[in-house]
A and B are shown apart, each in its own frame.
Chain A
Amino acid sequence: MKWRKFVGLILAMVWLGLSPLGAGQDLFIKNGTLLTITQGIIHGGDILIIDGKIKEIGQNLTPPKGIRVIDATGKYVMPGIIDSHTHVALSGTNEASVAISSEVRMKDVINPEDPAIFTALTGGVTMVHTMHGSANPIGGENVVLKMKWGKSSEEMYVPYAYRTLKFALGENPKRANMMGFSAQPRYPQTRMGVIAIIRREFAKARSYMREWERYNQLKKNKKLVSFILPPRRNLRLEPLVLMLQGKMVARCHTYQADETLEFIKLSKEFGFKIGAFEHAWEAYKIVKELAAEKIGISVFADNWAYKMEAYQGIAYMAGFCAKHGVLVSINSDSGERIRRLFNDAAKTMRYGDLSEDEALKLITINPAIQLGVQKRVGSLEVGKDADIAIFNKHPLSAYTRCEMTIIEGEVYFDRAKYLEEQQKKAAAKKPHKKGGQK
């Protein structure tokens, strides 16, 4: 009889394998103020979601029979917020023991149990670019995740985003603010060294790439094929080769204007692409260059003056750069700030005088473009993933509160339901607590 069970198990596995992993759900959002980002505001709008995708948007849609309906009357519906720079949902951030750790992949250390995932949901965040730290001139490969709390890392992983490699300039790779164990001297200790070591690695990667090209060339010759050996694989250089081939982009942590310009020069020297500069607190000084090179920035709204290189980081920066043709996104870089990115976006209206529309773009479509996922997320449009955040007041008001966060049609955070559960838990706990105190 044992073989029957075995076959059953195999069949079950095949069935599970065939069923589309993480396939979305159906949902109908009724009568909300829809902040679509790309197509203006729809008052009293409905959204029909089928299989996790937005099927229809408009006024007075009729919900299909049996579909779950969410009443958004008096509420604001916007695309799920995208955090373009954070370190949540990881069980490691910095491989700080060596200066160059490009072989490290954040994909390998996804932690689906990190409570910061839930924290992100409570602030309407549905997607994050979760990154290697900035201890190394060349860190590791970052990963894009959807905040599917309770699901596996495979289900959270977003395969269609750009592949990005973390670079870092300035104080952090110099280890300038380190104490204790981390303060042990390590090359590089200067900004000169930081640029030099990155250049060295790209030069190595270029010759490594040529070695492979030569091998692949020689391999075609059938007489030679039995005499030649393939080059030794170098996992540290491989991501840089991908960059030289245009298959991966740099996300470079930078503060000072000068080092930012140096990195642009380096990218031209080797012909790799810069996805965005991270933090880039002095970007407002080199707006001309950034706009000309079409390089975006992923920045804080106003978290500044925590270290020397952040001392000229003015809160007007994001707004100023956005107004002058730079693609700007606002990031959290934190498991706490991640839940108030909508507040941070509003700050660009106080500092920088952006319009509501421009401010909202900084946390939706702009980070999506920077991650190459703008065809899937970042706005409320027919055909896009139904990643949605619902707020009780306008998301740019200081008085607002996130009520619901939806990913691919599935509700991952529902404040009303959450409060109910909390109450139940508290009620269940009370008698026990009294007994304990005696």
Chain B
Amino acid sequence: MKEIIKMMSRPMNWLEKMRKKKKASLRHFIGLGLVFCWLAGLAWWPTLAKAAETEPVIAIKGARLVTVTGSDIPQGTILIKGKYIVDIGPSVTIPPEAKVIEAQGLVAYPGMIDGLTYLGLQEISMVRATVDMRETGNINPQVRADEALRPDSVHIPITRANGTTCALVAPTGGLISGMSALIKLDGWTPEELVIKVPVAMHIQFPMMRGRYRRSSRSVSGSKRIKELKKLFNEARYYEKRRLAAQKNLLLPYPDFDEKLEALLPVVHGQLPVMISVYAEKDIKEVIKFVQEEKLKAILYGVHDGWKVADEIARAGLPVILDSLYNQPSRWEDGYDALYRNPAALVKAGVKIAFSSQSASLAKDLPWHAAKAVAFGLDQKEALKAVTINPAEIFGLGDQMGSLDKGKLANIVLTDGDLLEIRRHVKHLFIEGKEIDLSNYYTDLLHKFEKRLKEK
């Protein structure tokens, strides 16, 4: 984002310089102000230092620790200070000021990360007034998911109560849908929710038509690639023309184009594209396309992944799977094609992550992973695909996705296997803060439990 802002402001630079020359006296005044601020800061320093010292310390004691990146610890302690895990292991000294959570019999996992959701963008899917993830038109690289986030969505607390602590929120629709944001599932304002933005530019390829599905989308994959190439070239020329105009006062500046502006970090290979692509032929073409254009890319959906797993692995592209609550498009592929797809991709060496592709059913993320295990995926790989893998795919592998010293304290404590349906989340921590597990579901339930008690 910073690059975009810089570029947007660039045309103005020379004008500003002219203006600034006349404002030397103003600069002196600002200088004095800064000195004053520094002095004031010194006066405040002791209180600030004190705040740092009183960062809350929490010890989760006695749980089985599933670290994901290392081996499991049958019984151990996690020490949290402020936002971070400061110590973890079988024998950790608990400082006296720590709040101790007795977790014997529980299992600690890193909080799950959902590879793609509509959390905060969609409340009720059929009520248009509450749906904000699908902009009209075909080319919308300029729209950003974080700018429409609704922190008060009822779906956020419901989702985290099932063990998800972070989620990618992405726009959809058209050919280029816009930019996604990674959020944590706790916060009062959009700014508090957002961890990283933009994470990726989202591009859509059509789903296949087949015996199972009657898709109305009929634009072929190669047509889309032609359109994208044309757009990306336009963006490159747009930048060239602007650079030329900056150097040469006689050349006119190109008219500001928000869409091409937004595409510049993509064509520079800085901002990844996340391409929703399903059919074998399209996947092949997309791989060729991202290589030719030298893009950073993540594949999404990839229903036919098992047919081209080696090619995806060779290209080094990570895959985020869409909801497994889908059916294969082709009868011949077998009823279980989408269920065994994750296992086939992992076997070929592709890094995968799961996604719920939903807002109201984002809580189901662990069960998508479990379904893939039922059809051949290694259980540990499934766990990685909802924790460390998405963290790494989104460039945050050093901050989250496992129970490790120095990482953000995003921790779930369950009374059983995290990916099982028959288990309950007992405690949840997001960035070191213990989260209230009550939500819209439990509020309504309690309200009507009360009715039953009335005589």
A interface, CB within 8 angstroms of B = 115, 118-119, 122, 177, 284-285, 287-288, 302-308, 310-312, 314-316, 320, 324, 335-337, 339-340, 343, 346-347, 349-351, 393, 396-401, 418, 422, 425
A341 CB, min distance to chain B CBs, angstroms: 13
Tell me, in angstroms, the Cα distance from A185 to B127 when the chains sit together: 19
Question: What residues of chain B have their CB less than 8 Å away from a CB belonging to chain A?
Answer: 123-127, 154-155, 162, 211-212, 325-327, 331-332, 334-336, 359-361, 363-364, 366-367, 370-371, 373-375, 379, 419-424, 440-442, 444-445, 448-449, 451-452
Given A303-B361, A314-B440, A349 and B422 touching (CB < 8 A)? yes
Q: Is the CB of B441 within 8 A of A306?
A: no
- CB-defined contacts of B126 to chain A, threshold 8 Å: 177, 306-308
Q: B212 is contacted by which of A115, A310, A401 (Cβ under 8 Å)?
A: A115
Q: Is B361 a contact partner of A400 (Cβ separation < 8 A)?
A: no
Cα-based distance from A315 to B440 in the complex (angstroms):
10
B62 to chain A, nearest CB (A): 24
Residues of the B chain whose Cβ atoms lie less than 8 Å from the Cβ of A339: 335
CA gap between A51 and B441 in the complex, in Å:
48
Residues of A with C-beta under 8 A to B424: 350
CA distance A239 to B359 in the complex (A): 41
* A205–B452 CA distance with the chains assembled, in angstroms: 38
State whether A349 and B421 are in contact (beta carbons under 8 Å apart), knowing that A336-B327, A337-B325 are contacts in the complex: yes
Residue in A302, A304, A398 whose CB lies within 8 Å of B370: A398
Q: Which B residues are CB-close (under 8 A) to A397?
A: 420-422
* Chain B contacts for A335, CB-based, 8 A: 327
Determine the distance from Cα of A252 to Cα of B420 in the docked complex, in whole angstroms: 34
**Bound-state Cα–Cα, A57 to B227, Å:** 65
A-B contact pairs, 19 of them (CB 8 A): A115-B211, A287-B448, A287-B452, A306-B125, A308-B124, A310-B124, A315-B363, A320-B445, A320-B449, A336-B327, A337-B325, A339-B335, A343-B367, A349-B422, A350-B424, A396-B422, A397-B422, A399-B374, A400-B374
Within 8 Å CB of A396, what residues of B? 421-422
Most interface-central of B359, B374, B379, B451 (chain A CB within 10 A): B374
Which of B125, B335, B336, B420 is the one whose CB lies under 8 Å from A305? B125
**Chain B residues positioned under 8 Å from A306 (CB to CB):** 124-126, 360
List the B side residues contacting A343 at CB < 8 Å: 367, 371, 421
CB distance from A393 to the nearest CB of B (A): 8
| Chain A residues, Cβ within 8 Å of B445 | 284, 314, 316, 320
Question: Given the known A-B contacts A115-B211, A306-B360, are A346 and B124 also in contact in the complex, defined by CB atoms under 8 Å?
Answer: no
Q: Please measure, in the bound complex, the distance between the C-alpha atom of A287 and the C-alpha atom of B445, giving whole angstroms.
A: 12
For A305, A347, A422, which residue has the most chain B Cβ atoms within 10 angstroms? Answer: A305
Q: In the assembly, what is the distance between CA of A307 and CA of B125, in Å?
A: 6
Residue of A122, A399, A400 with most chain B CB atoms under a 10 A cut-off: A399
In the complex, the 6 A-B pairs of residues with the closest C-beta atoms, listed nearest first: A398-B370, A305-B360, A346-B421, A307-B126, A314-B441, A401-B374
CB closest residue in chain A, given B359: A305
Q: Which of B124, B363, B419 contacts A307 (CB 8 A)?
A: B124
Determine the residue in chain A with the shortest Cβ distance to B368: A398
Task: Tell me the complex Cα distance, A417–B444, Å.
Answer: 47
Closest to A351 in B: B441
- Using Cβ atoms and an 8 Å threshold, which residues of chain A touch B127? 307-308
* Chain A min CB distance to B99 (Å): 28
- The closest CB in chain B to the CB of A301 belongs to B421
- The residue from A316, A336, A351 contacting B326, defined by CB atoms under 8 A apart: A336
